Chain A
Amino acid sequence: MDKNSFLFQAMIYLAAAVAMVPVAKKLGLGSVLGYLIAGVLIGPAVFGFIGEEGEDVMHFAEFGVVIMLFVVGLELEPALLWRLRKPIVGLGGLQVLASAVLLAAGAMALGLPWNAALALGMTLAMSSTAIVLQTFQEKGWMKTAAGESAFAVLLFQDIAVIPMLALFPLLAVGGGTSATDSAAHHPSPIGSLPGWAQTLAVLAAVAGIVLAGRYLIKPLLRIVARTRLRELFTATSLLLVVGIAELMELVGLSPALGTFLAGVVLANSEYRHELESDIDPFKGLLLGLFFMAVGASIDFALILAQPWLILGLVLAVMTIKGLVLLALGKLFRLSTDQNAIFGSSLNQVGEFAFVLVAFSVANGIFSTPIADMAMAVVAISMAITPLVMLFNEKILLRRIGTKEAPPAGTDVHADEDNPVIIAGFGHFGSTVGRLLRAHHIGCTILDIDSDQVDRLRRMGFKVFYGDAGRHDLLEIAGAARAKVIVIAVGDAERRLEMIQTVKKHFPDLRIMVRASNRYDAYDLMNEGMLHIYRDTLDTSIRMGVDVMRMLGHRSYSANRAARTFRRYDEQKLKELAAIADEKEYVLTARKYIEEIETILRADLAERDLTQDEGWDEAGLIKEANMARQS
């Protein structure tokens, strides 16, 4: 077997992930640690299935981070981003600044020249977007105070990489080699342009993404959605992310930043949920690959050569970063437990460090031995982050004991956390939605008809494009936190699919479902549905009442008669559902006539339907007559 064939490599990575991640999850270690351990196992240190190509894999897998930021952007509406501007600039800026300065001072104390120390300080100030966001999402902490603060810091770091890359060549000792080297390692085709033109290109690219997101991508998604081919939609989502990443590379910006921006632009669109759930598996797989590559890249030979030095450095770096974070968290008024999460989550060195270290070596800022050691420190700090967070969560937080507000669900402000989800927003669903909206009851609406979605959105409804039969989409729509789902789609088959999905994945969600007719209602009853609303029942009864009124019956009596009839009919439905043979009630005309006949006979036998005992004076009159006679 060719050890270097693509399929063999893919098999190794997948097998390692499949073997290790469930174990790690079971042990409560989280998926990130599982991937890292899998990486260590297949790497040169243990089995040696993968070797030098690990770095290529890492480069490829970094795309997972790019996709992740796209997904993060999708979850951040511009308004929310604007609300976060203070933490991004303040918290993020101070974190990078303070960490870089302190770490640089430490490096100088260990005898590095100032320029190398400064470069190293900035490099080590970065945190790992991949690990932190993945872990936070897994634990559902993204919308807690700690999650938002961590996100703000990571976002600022993403932005800060750009000026850093510009600054590093200036730190090079000779300065002479820097220009050529920087051009060589900064593969931006516009690198040769004058400064103002580069700036202009960057601005144009950003504006291009915002405008395209609004006027090009949304209509494109609408067209694609109309084809109703799910894989085409997935392909479009991927194309979107890859395309933007390429554009960003072209102008020398961080691809992650570009896709994040695109995500934010599309956060307001009706296709947001669909995009998110379509692209999520790719994100997860690539991130997993990335973590495995990190695990595989840990140079155990180097570590074993100087174990105490390396471990000491890791400890020093993580302690310094952790203390800076805790101090800033305090300054920005995070509560103790949230601050503990914040401080313990961001104190590793992130994947940007791999880029920055390589860049520094290329620019001759520091030597290869130092770079190797730095790489080892970075990899180890990333590898132990899940352990640090686990220690914090399981031991420290329990000591503090002030873990306020269970993170999932309570401390959230996204308007998707509505108590009601309406699946299908046609004439039926929209009436339900309008009534609820008029009473300020938040509804998350899912509909598959893209024209309908578009029209309703323009009228100010919060409608999303997607099929509520998919559990991932329901998950994103907040089914885990909603109280009720109204299934109002017109297609009986799809209603049954949705019910099965909801029952399987969200057993606590109450289901209220529309039924087209009696047969449909039987099916729904067999599925265990308690709240069934037949399309035709209320309207036809109301019409019957009006007929009675036109024939001279008193309104109130006709109304009471109708309500009695309605109760009786629901009761009859239950009885017939119980005796209906599952295989038999195919929708044939003969069958239908038979059943109508059964029902009509039963109606005639039911005396109570016509005899309203309310306000009946027969007994009184009889008694009065008897009294007179005696």
Chain B
Amino acid sequence: MARILILFAHPALEKSRVHKALLQQMPHVRGVTFNDLYEQYPDLDIDIEREQQLLLRHDTIVFQHPFYWYSSPAIIKQWMDLVLEHGWAYGGEGRMLHGKRLLNVISTGGSAEAYSPQGRNRYPILELLRPFELTARLCGMDYLPPFVIHSTHRISNEELQREAHRYRAALNLLAGHDADTGSLPLQGYLNDLIID
């Protein structure tokens, strides 16, 4: 049951060119459950029971969102605070998510160079995503290299389409039964592991 759960968070999807392009790929991937958090919980009032049931039915959990202030939009954090309960997701008794995979799919206005020691953001994306990596580890999940789209304000439509197709390919790969992700090294982006 290599099913994928996409926890999508964009407070103003109607303004996002990048995420619309990514979402257009959804119908082409089998076994994806799309959970639009801001649409489902406009008042950030997350239904813990529903979310936990969803998690149990999937193997790959994807956080897809813009990279706001070096982190996620508020609802992702709210979701983590509420759903990843002690005794359920982590802690001595909490083993419900063991063996599942966690993937960050993010978009950012900054270029890849900006996220380097010489760039204005100083730290690489992978460093900034450490909280997610550690969350995955605490819950006994495999943390995958992130899928990142840089320079969202400048990216051409052709380039964006290419990334969208890579995203689709990546999801198809993860949906496959034989996808061996345990051997993936945590360096670089998932984008670069997809051959066009």
Contacts and interface: CB of A to CB of B under 8 A. Distances in A.
B48 A619 contact: no
Contact of A620 (B46, B81, B82, B91): B91
Contacts of B85: 613, 616, 619
B45 A623 contact: no
Given A560-B45, A614-B48, A623 B81 contact: no
Contacts of A560: 45
Contacts of B82: 614-615
A623 B48 contact: no
Nearest to A560: B45
Interface residues of A, number: 12
A566 B87 CA distance: 28
B95 to A, nearest CB: 14
Contacts of B81: 614-615
Q: Chain A's interface: helix, strand, loop or mixed, by majority?
A: helix
Interface residues of B, number: 11
Contacts of B45: 560, 563-564
Nearest to A564: B45
B153 interface: no
Contact of A623 (B43, B46, B86): B86
A607 B150 CA distance: 48
Nearest to B87: A619
B182 interface: no
A563 B43 contact: yes
B86 A620 contact: yes
Interface in A425-451: none
Contact of B91 (A563, A615, A623): A623
Contacts of B86: 617, 619-620, 623
A619 B43 contact: no
B92 interface: yes
Contacts of A563: 43, 45
A576 to B, nearest CB: 22
A560 B46 CA distance: 10
Contacts of A615: 81-82
Contacts of A564: 45
A617 B46 CA distance: 18
Nearest to B41: A563
A613 B92 CA distance: 18
Interface in B82-98: 82, 85-87, 91-92
Interface in B104-125: none
A456 to B, nearest CB: 30
Best-buried of B46, B82, B86 by chain A (most CB within 10 Å):
B86
A564 B91 CA distance: 27
B92 to A, nearest CB: 6
Contacts of B46: 614
Contact of B48 (A613, A617, A626): A613
Interface in A571-627: 613-617, 619-620, 623, 626
Given A613-B48, A619-B85, A626-B92, 13 more contacts: A560-B45, A563-B43, A614-B46, A614-B48, A615-B82, A616-B85, A619-B86, A619-B87, A620-B91, A623-B86, A623-B87, A623-B91, A623-B92
Interface of A: 560, 563-564, 613-617, 619-620, 623, 626
23 contacts: A560-B45, A563-B43, A563-B45, A613-B48, A613-B85, A614-B46, A614-B81, A614-B82, A615-B81, A615-B82, A616-B85, A617-B86, A619-B85, A619-B86, A619-B87, A619-B91, A620-B86, A620-B91, A623-B86, A623-B87, A623-B91, A623-B92, A626-B92
Shortest beta-carbon contacts, A-B, top 6:
A619-B87, A619-B86, A614-B82, A620-B86, A563-B45, A623-B92
